[in-house]
């Protein structure tokens, strides 16, 4: 795992390296790693070799002129490299790299293709390892609970960079079906909705939108596959302990894929906050992203009655608004599933 902003790394598994090689890398050479200077080179599923450095610089052999190669790689006979990021979380990358000597030669296109095929299996192994660690902290419990519910969660910092996300959100972004990740930021494929998302995100981060905004601020994102639209909701992180997320997170983005969303445990949600049957009906629709107007239409209630139910639900859950109720309920998924 390496941070492309600081160059620091951790949790390194080494095989075939002489003693002190990685210590030397961390002490100096991680900061001048040429791959980190190329935009997008550390994005997930991007397989890279030293040839990519030459292509980016538009000069064959430019890589072997770098200090990184001559002073760190070459002394250990690491003339050729291949690797990429299994996953990207903010500026952190879970990186997988292999080196080999000049005698063996450059990595071929066939080998690059094979590594592409191997990456999903490596990523799956990583996900299984994360599941085994669930329960070691509130953040992991939250992420696991949202995974069980089929809800994606992405945490952004004040620069709109991704600092955390759960496996559901990661799968959605990797699919590129309407939503993707580019340079640690969320990208919406549909140009109009991308503009809407960017404007709402900027306004939320600059506090131009009140923290008590209603669920009418859900954004519906069309998918390239023409399947049901993704539902996105922005929640400004005014209190990092609300959902037990990283304190560097300034904004939470919830993603619902209607084709994959799992049924929430109605009985447990009702019992947790002593809701009546009708209040539970309303609460579940709130968690589905319905506005008060749409809840009224779906349940055949007057708008005034719906608003009354919402106020009662929020009061019972000690939530100040629809948004804070949704955030609170989602934070409790690990407990009620």
Apex 124 CA angle, 15 and 328, nearest 5: 120
Does the structure show a pLDDT above 70 at 259? yes
Query: For the segment 94-130, what is each residue's pLDDT rounded down to a tens digit?
Result: 777 888 998 999 999 999 888 888 877 776 666 555 5
User: 312 or 211: whose pLDDT is higher?
Assistant: 312
315: CB partners within 8 A, 6+ apart? none
Domains and CATH numbers, the chain: 2-131 (no CATH), 133-336 (1.10.10.10)
- Whether 278 has a pLDDT exceeding 90, the answer reads yes
pLDDT at 55 over 80: yes
Query: Which pLDDT band holds residue 292 (cuts at 50, 70, 90)?
Result: confident
Give me the phi and psi of 37, to 5 degrees please: -90, -5
Distance between CA atoms of 290 and 293, rounded to whole angstroms? 8
The two three-digit tokens of residue 34, written as one number:
């040429």
Residues in the chain: 337
- Whole-structure pTM value: 0.53
Cα–Cα distance for residue pair 226/228, rounded to 1 Å: 7
List % helix, strand, coil for the chain (3-state, nearest 5).
45, 20, 35
Six-digit token pair at 56? Answer: 């980016």
Q: How many CB atoms lie within 10 A of CB 79?
A: 18
Identify the CA nearest to 243 among candidates 171, 169, 324, 315. 324
Judged against a pLDDT cut of 50, whether residue 159 lies above it is answered with: yes
Judge whether residue 185 has pLDDT over 50: yes
112 vs 104: CA distance, rounded Å: 15
């Amino acid at each position: 795992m390496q941070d492309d902003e600081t160059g620091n790394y951790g949790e390194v598994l080494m095989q075939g390296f002489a003693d002190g090689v990685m210590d030397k890398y961390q002490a100096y050479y991680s900061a001048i790693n040429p791959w980190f200077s190329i935009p997008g080179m550390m994005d997930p599923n991007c397989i890279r070799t030293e040839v990519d450095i030459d292509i980016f610089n538009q000069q064959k052999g430019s890589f072997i002129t770098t200090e990184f190669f001559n002073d760190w790689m070459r002394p250990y006979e690491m003339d050729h490299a291949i690797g990429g990021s299994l996953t990207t979380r903010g500026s952190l990358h879970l990186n997988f790299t292999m080196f080999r000597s000049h005698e063996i030669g450059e990595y071929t296109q066939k080998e690059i293709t094979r590594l592409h095929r191997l990456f999903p299996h490596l990523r799956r192994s990583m996900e299984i390892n994360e599941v085994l660690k669930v329960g070691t902290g509130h953040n992991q419990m939250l992420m696991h609970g949202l995974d069980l519910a089929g809800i994606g969660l992405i945490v952004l910092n004040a620069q709109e960079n991704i600092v955390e996300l759960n496996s559901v959100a990661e799968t959605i972004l990797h699919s590129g079906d309407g939503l993707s990740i580019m340079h640690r930021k969320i990208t919406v494929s549909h140009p109009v909705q991308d503009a809407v998302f960017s404007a709402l995100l900027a306004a939320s981060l600059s506090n131009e939108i009140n923290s008590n905004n209603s669920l009418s601020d859900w954004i519906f994102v069309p998918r390239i596959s023409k399947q049901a639209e993704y539902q996105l909701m922005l929640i400004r992180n005014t209190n990092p302990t609300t959902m037990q997320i990283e304190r560097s997170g300034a904004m939470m983005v919830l993603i619902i894929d209607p084709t994959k969303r799992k049924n929430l445990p109605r009985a447990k949600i009702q019992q947790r906050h002593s809701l009546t049957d009708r209040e539970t009906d309303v609460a579940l629709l709130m968690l589905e992203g319905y506005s008060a107007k749409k809840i009224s239409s779906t349940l055949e209630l007057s708008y005034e009655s719906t608003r009354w139910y919402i106020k009662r639900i929020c009061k019972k859950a000690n939530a100040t608004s629809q948004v804070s109720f949704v955030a609170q309920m989602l934070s409790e998924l690990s407990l009620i599933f």
